[in-house]
Amino acid sequence: MAHAKEEKTLIILKPDAVHRGLMGEVIGRFEKKGLKVVGMKMVKLEDALLDAHYAHIKDKPFFAGIKRYMTSAPVVVMALSGIGAVAATRLLVGPTKGFEAPAGTIRGDLSLSMQSNIVHASDSVEAGTEEVGRFFGAHELFDYDRNDFGYIYADETF
């Protein structure tokens, strides 16, 4: 079951990841790191959900383009859990601009774009909690222990 130090974070596999057949590779990177997938579904994003999710840029001139892009195909939303999950996912994902992201990161290996950059990842623990709640109902989230938990966090104290 969830450990007290575990955090939840939201990941969105964006339309370019779906179109390019990269879903499995991206999900695999998070799982190989040791993060738990506690919720996952494919959805077609609606305007109201996008307005809420991108409220911080809703008034920017480029927002209409982001909405067109994010509704151009279904996306996969995932709730991930783990100790330090937010920092770990941000490290795996890399900087926003794919052409600036270092090799070895998801964006560095799979993207050259700022908008079509494969994946969204929550940028703080607070945002992760809020975003997971925005995209998932409680009945869509699962609490379980990975069998390899002790190996993933061998040096952590609980």
- pLDDT category of residue 155 using cuts at 50, 70 and 90: confident
Residue 123 lies in a domain: yes
β-partners of residue 83 are 6
Q: What is the pTM of this model?
A: 0.92
Question: Is 120 a residue of the active site?
Answer: yes
Q: How far is CA 27 from CA 17, 20, 154, in A?
A: 11, 14, 23
Residue 157 has pLDDT above 60, yes or no: no
| Nearest Cα residue to 109 out of 95, 128, 120 | 95
Residues above pLDDT 90, as percent of the chain: 85
Which stretches does DSSP call E strand in the chain?
6-13, 36-43, 75-83, 119-121
Average pLDDT of the segment spanning 18-24: 97
Residue 44 lies in a domain: yes
Domain that holds residue 83: 6-145
Residue 50 lies in a domain: yes
Query: What is the H or E stretch that residue 135 is in?
Result: helix 125-135
Residue 31 has pLDDT above 60, yes or no: yes
Catalytic residue among 19, 53, 56, 120: 120
The domain total for the chain is 1
Residue 154 lies in a domain: no
- pLDDT category of residue 99 using cuts at 50, 70 and 90: very high
CATH number for 69:
3.30.70.141
Residue 53 lies in a domain: yes
**Pairing relation of β-strands 36-43 and 119-121?**
unpaired
